Structures are given as C-alpha cells and as structure tokens.
Chains A and B, each alone.
Chain A
Amino acid sequence: MTDSTYRIHGATGEWEVVIGLEVHAQISTRAKLFSGASTEFGAEPNSQVSLVDAAMPGMLPVPNRECIRQAVRTGMALEARINPWSRFDRKNYFYADLPQGYQISQLYHPIVGEGEIEILLDDKDEGSAKTVGIERIHIEQDAGKLMHDQHPSFSYVDLNRSGVALMEIVSKPDMRSPEEAGAYVRKLRSILRYVGSCDGNMEQGSMRADVNVSVRKPGGELGTRTETKNVNSVRFIMAAIEYEANRQVDVLEGGGKIVQETRLFDPDKIETRSLRSKEEAHDYRYFPDPDLLPVELSDDFLIECRSSLPELPDAKRRRYENSLGLSPYNATVLTAEVETARWFEALLAGLGVTSAPAEPGAGAWTPASAEDQDKAKRAANWLLSDLFGALNRLGRSIEDSPVSPAQAAELLGLVADGTLSGTLGKQVFEIMLETGGDPAKIVEERGLKQTSDTGAIEKVIAEVLAANPDKVAEYRSGKDKLFGFFVGQTMRAMAGKGNPQVINDLLKKALA
C-alpha cells in the first residue's frame, strides 16, 4: 500500500487533496426501475414513457426485481455488506424533469452497505495497490431531460430517462489524487461491466460522478468539501478535481473560507462553478415511500446472486499471473476490460490451455503445465501486440474484431508447429484481417506454407553462394556479419517461405 505523494504546492506550503466520489451507474435492464417502459438509449423523445414514468394520477411504482438483483450482485462484487432489509424513500423537490415531484431513492436503509475496491496506480506494479472504501450503494430513479434549444421561450421535457434505474455507489473519502480517482472510476467501471450490472458507457450517460473535494495540510483536519455534480468522463473527473483543489487552495491561502456548496463542471472551460450553497440547498423532506413495501431479500435470492457472479478482474489477473505465468502488466491489461478477457479466454480455449479459477476464498492456483504456460504467454503477447495493433489501426474494438478467437488460435497453432514462420504468420494475419478467412485455408490457397525441405533449401543456398563469390570470400575471411546477408538472400529467393531455423543451419554448414 502506498501513500499518495500528490500535493498542491501553494504559497504557504503543500496541501493534500481529499476526494470522495458518488458514482451514478445506470443498471443494465431492459425495463425501468418501477415501470415496464424500455430503457434503450437514443430513442425518439418521450417514446419510452409509461403512465408511471409520467406520474399520471393514481399510478403506482412496482419494483423491477432485476434491478434489485443487479445492485445486490454489484455489492457482492465489491465485497460489500448486503442488507437483507432495505427500503425506498422519497426525495421531494420540484423540477420539470421530475414528473412525480419526488425521486424514489434509498436514504435511510440502502440495499448495500460498506465494501471496498482495490485499485492499481501502476499497471506494472502490484506494490502500487491501494484500497478505496465503499460507503454504500443505493438504488434510485433517474430523472428526465430538459431540452432548452427547441423553442425560443419554452423548455421541452424528454421523459425517456425518467424512472431508469440507477445505482449510486458512494465511496469513502479515501482518494488523495486525481490519478487515484481516475484509477478508482476505471476499476469500478471494469467491475460493473464484468458483473453485467452497468454497461459503463460514460458518453451515453450510463455512468457519471458527483465529485467531492476538500483540501487540508497533509495529515491535518478534514477541510470543508464541495460537491461537483454530474461529471461524465474519467478525464473530466480528474480535471475537475485538479481545478477544484487548486481553487480551494487559492481561496484558503487568500484568507478566504471554503463554502460547502454544490458546483457544476464546465467541460469547455475545464473549470467548476458554484451552483448553490448549503443555505440554498433543497430540503428534500425524505420519508419512506408509502407506495412500496420494504425490500426483503431471501436466502435463495442471495445465493443465486452470488453464484451467478463471474470471475472478477482481480481474481482473473492473479490467476493469469499465478497459474498461467503471465507478467503482471500483461495480466492487468488483459483483465482490465471484460471483452478483452473474454476474447483472451476464448483464444486460450482454442489453444487447449486449461486453467481453472481458484475456489472462492481459497486464494491459491494450480500452475498450468509448462506447455500451457508457454502457449498462454505467446497468446498474450500476440493479442496485446499484433491484434491490438491491428484493431487500433482499423479503429475497431475487440468485440468486432474481424478475426475470431478460434481463427487466432488456429493461426498461433500454425506458427507453433512450424507450418508458418513468424513473418509468414504476420502475413497470413494481415490477409485474415482483410478477408476474414481461416488461416489454414489462406496458407493452402496462397501457398504460404513454410518449407523445411532441406534439399530445396540447399539448392537455393547453392545458387545464392554461387551468385555472390566475393561475399562468400569475405565471410570466410572473418566478416561474420555477412551471415545475415546470406539468410536474407535465401529467404528472398524462397519468397519468405523457407524455415528460418533450417536455413540458418544449412547456411552455416555450406559456408563452413
């Protein structure tokens, strides 16, 4: 565990930054929290609004069990306390995007209590790990959206988002730098995507954060915090913290006081601005929602939630290191995104590599066989360099890679068994990217198979040596560096299909 050394260097000395995040994550369900309306993104305004979402007279909320299940699974993934009894409260305030005049949320009895997340500040260094506490997770409704650009004097309201289920994941004030906050959000996003409880799509607003920042002299009393609302990217979260921490230091060093207030982040100017002070804060008049019964979770329900959890990124990363022998960096990068890990595991399956997840809580892994470890390392290197390089070039994500894991396994197999040289392998991969074809077929059709036929190679070598008598003489008189020249000439004459190892051996013999 490392202590952050991030400091704001003010005129009066160094300042430490204290950060807590409230992340609002949209729960991935087809229907809203209390109505059957669809949650699909990007639909025509007000096309996904039920009578409940529009708060028509006499309408009543009915909880969507899947939303509750996903919040519980998320809590379990964060090793948090699950509260078998929780309750919904109403948070009352007037705004045109809030049809009921209250948001159904959970103040007094949230569904999930304390938990934690381990973050790595440096992907290559396990020693950079830090634990960030989770205070609670509660479930609540999202509001609608106001559109101010549709009419000269009126605002329009789109209720498609009204009633969509959110988890509010509240951290403890455990982060001390923008980098830690960034790592926390990325890790949280990764876990949510593994669990399947949130798609983590920040551009579409599926994840956004309220950022609480205060500053203090290192190790001193906590300062007064401000809350910057609705910041919707990791970059902006980090920028908002940096701006806000520096602003607070400036205020304090100028003899001023920090006011507890709500601020908003301006992504164009990269600055925060005051929205309302504590004195102007709403009195939300929270009280238990009388339309809803308490949420009581049965043992069977909890067992199903736990047993349906996938292997999570930390466990997977440790397995890749301990069982498959991957480097910490490779293991971290391969497990950071669920899609990458899923692709990699399919590739391993195609290569016949077996490595079972550790039993929950056992914390020990059986090392895979040396052969499997070797295959896994090659696969990892290939995926992170060749595949990622190609996808990057094509501007594609791994989910729509033109090459499937099964095809990739076949390709790696052809290289491993000597059918293809490394160079030929890359050539075949390029063709696969273009055509989507299977590697064996490409090799067959285009005659790209590597030759290890000593007779054929010896014949070419003889021709190469005969064509370059002066170079042969120079080599034999001690100019060893020319060996590469002969390898190159032979390869070129064989259109790259000669087995490099065999060429090496035969050349050495011929030049001896």
Chain B
Amino acid sequence: MTGLTDLGIAAIRDGVADGSVSAREVAEAYIAAVEAGRPLNAFTVETPEHALAAADTADAARASGELKPLSGVPLGIKDLFATEGVDTTAGSRILSGFKPRYESTVSGKLFAAGAGMLGKLNMDEFAMGSSNETSAWGPVLSPWRRKDGGNAALTPGGSSGGSASAVSARLAPGVTGTDTGGSIRQPAAFTGISGIKPTYGRCSRWGIVAFASSLDQAGPMARDVRDCAILLEAMAGFDPKDSTSLDLPVPNWEAALSSDLRGKKVGIPREYRIDGVPEEIGRVWDHGIALLKDAGAEIVEVSLPHTKYALPTYYIIAPAEASSNLARYDGVRYGRRVQPEQGGLTEMYEATRAEGFGAEVKRRIMIGTYVLSAGFYDAYFNQAQKVRALIARDFDQAWASCDLLLTPTAPSAAFGLGEKMADPIAMYLNDVFAVPASLAGLPAMSVPGGVDGQGLPLGLQIIGRPLDEQSVLDAGLAIEERSGFTARAERWW
C-alpha cells in the first residue's frame, strides 16, 4: 500500500477530482512529511496554513464542480520566488526577514491554478552554487546515500537543492526551481527526479530575485515527466511586467505528451564526450541513446564546436549581470543593514554587504565587476557576448540535422558535502553540460537515466529547439517509460 505522499501531481489532481482522496488529507500527509524531513534542511520556511487553505478550497471546489488544473496540489516554492507576506531570502543573510508585499508571477499563477504552498525551499545563496552549500541557512542534504555504508552526507546539487531534495524525499509532489546555468537540471539529475528549464522567456521573471537576467528561467521539478508538463503549463505564459517574456500562447503540453519518437532525429554532440568524466556517465548516456532508438528516434552525430568555451563564457556573463543585479542589496531600503558606529554611507554599504553576502556571492560580484570594468570590458564581457552568439549558432546549425540533443546532465553523480567547496573551478565544472543550453536560451530537461556503482542516480539531458518543449518532454517520457528507473532514496531521516 502506498502512502498519500507517494501520489504525484497528476495522481493528486485526478484523485481529488474523482473523490478518491481529499485535498485536505493529501496536504496533511505532505505537511507531516515536511516536518519529518527537517533533517534534510530542504525548507527554509514551512507554510502549512497556506497548503491547508488551498486544500480546503480544492475540496469545496470539487463539491461545487469548480476544480482548477492544480486544485489540491501542495507545492514547494524555491526561496528565489517572492511570496507575499512570506519570508523570501534567496538563501542570503542580506535578505533575512524580508517579507515581500507582492507575489511573483509564477508562484501567483500556480496558486491561481489551485495549488497550495508547503513552504519555501532552501537554495544556494542568490542561486549561485551547484551544491546548496552556499546557502546562508546551511546546506540541504540529499536523501540519497552511497551504497558503501559510509553514510556520507551528499549534496542534492544546486542551486535548486532544497527543491530537488524535497521532491526526491517525497516532501512535496512537485516544486518550482530556477535555472541560470543548470540549477534545475543538475539537482534533478543528482536526486533521481525530472526537471525542465523551458525556453528563455516562457516563464515570467517578475518577482524572481534576479541572479543573471539574460539566463534566469523558472521551471518545474517533479517525480516524472507528466508532472513536469502539468506544472510548466501553469507556470508559463506571457507577462507584460517582464519585457523579456514571450508573448505566445501556452501549449497544452500534457495533453500532447507522446513517447512515440518515430520521425524524430536525436543528435549526439561529440564535444560532450570530455576527458575525466567517469565511465559510468558514458554508459548511462549510451543507454539513453538506445532507449530513444527503441522509441523510434533516429540517432545522428552532431557537432557543437564552441562547446568548450561555454563554461568560461557563462562565468563571465552570469557574474557580470549578477554584480549589477545585486547592487540593490545595500541596506538602504530593506533587508539587512549594518550601520557601523563611525562612518557614513560608504561604510554602511561596506559593512552591510560584507556581512550580508557569503563568500561565493562576493567572489562572483568581484568577477563580474572586474569583467565589466574599464579596460577589461572588451576583452571579457564583450568577447563573451560574441562567443555566446557563436554557441547559439552552433545549436542553430545542429537543428539542420536533428530535432533534439541527448547528453549527460552532469559530469558526475552527487558528491559529498564539502568535497568541492575549496575548489571553485571543480564546482563550476558541474555545469559543463548544462550551460550551453542556458546561453542559447533553449528548453532543456533532465530525467533519470540510471544509477552509478554506488547506487546514486545519474541524469540524462534532452535539449530542444526554441519553444519546442513538447519534443523535449516527449523524449523525456520515452526515456522514463523505458529506463526502468525505480530507484528511490531509502528513508534515513
């Protein structure tokens, strides 16, 4: 007998609709799971009253026949999304105690669709990190453990680490994430769940604390592809409050889901076979290729020649934008202020930001400030913009010979907490497969592909043409149906 927290989004929605479960009992089960899951440190704030209110509304709506697409579905919301009246800190001390008087467009759309909120999800500070260890509120733990019996605490990945851990540990059926350079896909891969970053502009950025504006994109993380499709439909859509939001109708992705890939060509980019990546990554990739072939797809080899420049390009553009986006956290209007006894405005800025920001955020602000400064702008930022255009062109050219790309999501399985914190370059390498699609603004998804020798999940990434989330989801579904991935983290918390 499965428990209520084994119900995913589609199951809850359908169960509430046909009366086989009540939204209230689902919400209560998940609220209990969130409480029991506190050792994972996935949530920074718990909002059971919000989830229960939405559940009661859903149960009343069923009685009156006015159910909405997400009625009765309790969700976790990444702490990067502004939530009205609920602490929103972006994992940073500098925003401690900040309660927005506004609701982000994406969370607002989810709530308008009937969803409730279980709480806010822990994350790397300002979404800068790949292990959730940069959070001011402590690292999130992955529910997964290696088979070696060492019980080493593993990272759920980052920056949407709280999101990934919560879904994987069944503290929530689905969550929001954001992805700037892999922050949905890499944690999804590390925790054996699914997550999609849609085309840049599909989801409004209004009310999402900005990291790197030209890259930031919201997306769902859930246990399977269908649940991702359901959530993405509710999250996406044009928003006049975001100038970069796409004024296009939202497709009915769930209804169109099909794992029949006949007629589809899937490209395998040769540049993604890089040295130093564990053999198991290649093995899972090859397995993925076989699964897609089995689903009817034709496999072709393609070349994305500028791939090797993607990571350095990303680590110029993203910090540059961040250095400017984070200038507003100055202690003047909201959040933390540190006012030294002596000294004026400059000293207040210095003290506030010195205390408010963590080491990784400071590092990126300094990198970003450097690459934009007089005398270095052309050599770094401008050059990076040009390379970014070339990377996007690589993809454009690939689409001449294929419809989708299949790659590993990350170059390794989840690593132990503390293993990479001393070496930022090693940490940044986590995103090597994720950032090209981010730089090109393409839809990209991670689905579980298998497990490594330690029993830890490994993810496969599917990248699609601009706006073709459907094909990405379809391929994800094809892998999901065929991979036989049933591994689950055993509960130890």
Residues of A within 8 A of B (CB): 51, 54-63, 90, 92, 94-96, 99-102, 155, 157, 283, 285-287, 290-293
Contacts and interface: CB of A to CB of B under 8 A. Distances in A.
Contacts of B244: 290-293
27 contacts: A51-B102, A55-B328, A57-B95, A58-B104, A58-B210, A60-B205, A60-B241, A62-B243, A92-B324, A92-B372, A94-B346, A99-B328, A100-B328, A101-B324, A101-B326, A101-B328, A101-B330, A155-B345, A283-B373, A285-B373, A287-B377, A290-B213, A290-B214, A290-B321, A292-B243, A293-B243, A293-B244
B98 interface: yes
Contacts of B333: 54-56, 99
Contacts of B324: 90, 92, 101-102, 285, 287
A41 B346 CA distance: 30
Interface string B5-21: 00000000000000000
Contacts of B95: 57
A159 B377 CA distance: 31
Contacts of B100: 56-58
Contacts of B166: none
Nearest to B381: A287
B57 interface: no
A60 B206 contact: yes
Q: Which of B88, B243, B374 has the most CB of A within 10 A?
A: B243
Contact of B327 (A92, A96, A291): A92
A293 B242 CA distance: 10
Contacts of A95: 345
Given A54-B333, A57-B95, A287-B372, A62 B241 contact: yes
Given A51-B102, A60-B241, A94-B349, A101 B205 contact: no
B458 interface: no
A365 B205 CA distance: 56
A157 B332 CA distance: 9
Contacts of B207: 58-59
A113 B374 CA distance: 24
A290 B439 CA distance: 13
Nearest to A155: B345
Given A62-B243, A285-B369, A94 B327 contact: yes
Interface in B66-117: 81-82, 88, 90, 95, 98, 100-102, 104
A291 B213 contact: yes
A60 B345 contact: no
Contacts of B349: 94
Contacts of B377: 285-287
Contacts of A94: 327, 330, 346, 349
A58 B324 CA distance: 13
Nearest to A63: B243
A54 B369 CA distance: 23
B209 interface: yes
A291 B243 contact: yes
> DSSP class of A's interface residues: helix, strand, loop or mixed?
loop
A369 to B, nearest CB: 55
Contact of B209 (A54, A58, A92): A58
B332 A56 contact: no
Contacts of B320: 287
Contacts of A96: 330, 332, 345
B208 interface: yes
A387 B14 CA distance: 81
A157 B323 CA distance: 24
Contacts of A102: 324, 327
A92 B321 CA distance: 11
Contacts of A63: 243
A483 to B, nearest CB: 81
A57 B209 CA distance: 5
A285 B334 CA distance: 25
Contact of A283 (B213, B326, B374): B374
Nearest to A157: B332
Q: Which of A57, A95, A157, A286 has the most CB of B within 10 A?
A: A57
A62 B240 CA distance: 8
Contacts of B81: 58
B248 to A, nearest CB: 15
Interface in B243-263: 243-244
A61 B372 contact: no
Contacts of B334: 56-57
B475 interface: no
B212 interface: yes
B241 A57 contact: no
A-B interface, 9 closest residue pairs, ranked by CB to CB distance from nearest = A101-B327, A290-B213, A285-B372, A290-B214, A55-B328, A58-B207, A57-B209, A283-B374, A58-B82
A62 B242 CA distance: 7
B179 to A, nearest CB: 16
Contacts of A62: 240-243
Interface in B351-381: 369, 372-374, 377, 381
A85 to B, nearest CB: 16
Contacts of B381: 287
B400 to A, nearest CB: 27
A255 B440 CA distance: 58
Contact of B82 (A54, A57, A92, A155): A57
Nearest to B212: A290
Interface in B373-415: 373-374, 377, 381
Contacts of B345: 95-96, 155
Contacts of A51: 101-102
Nearest to B368: A285
Contact of A99 (B205, B213, B332, B346): B332
Given A56-B82, A285-B374, A286-B372, 9 more contacts: A60-B206, A62-B240, A62-B242, A63-B243, A101-B327, A101-B328, A287-B320, A287-B377, A293-B244
A101 B326 CA distance: 8
Contacts of A99: 328, 332-333
A45 to B, nearest CB: 14
A287 B346 CA distance: 24
A317 B241 CA distance: 45
Nearest to B209: A57
A410 to B, nearest CB: 52
A291 B206 CA distance: 10
A59 B327 contact: no
Contacts of A61: 243
A58 B243 contact: no
Contacts of A157: 332
B206 A59 contact: yes
Contacts of B214: 290
B95 to A, nearest CB: 7
Nearest to A52: B241
Contacts of B206: 58-60
A56 B334 CA distance: 8
Contacts of A56: 82, 100, 102, 333-334
A286 B373 CA distance: 8
Nearest to B207: A58
B448 to A, nearest CB: 31
Nearest to B369: A285
A287 B320 CA distance: 9
A57 B333 CA distance: 11
B451 to A, nearest CB: 37
Contacts of A92: 323-324, 327, 372
A155 B208 CA distance: 30
A95 B333 CA distance: 12
Contacts of B321: 287, 290
A283 B373 CA distance: 6
Contacts of B205: 58, 60
B178 to A, nearest CB: 11
A105 B369 CA distance: 18
Nearest to A97: B332
A405 B333 CA distance: 52
A155 B339 CA distance: 13
A160 to B, nearest CB: 14
A155 B344 CA distance: 10
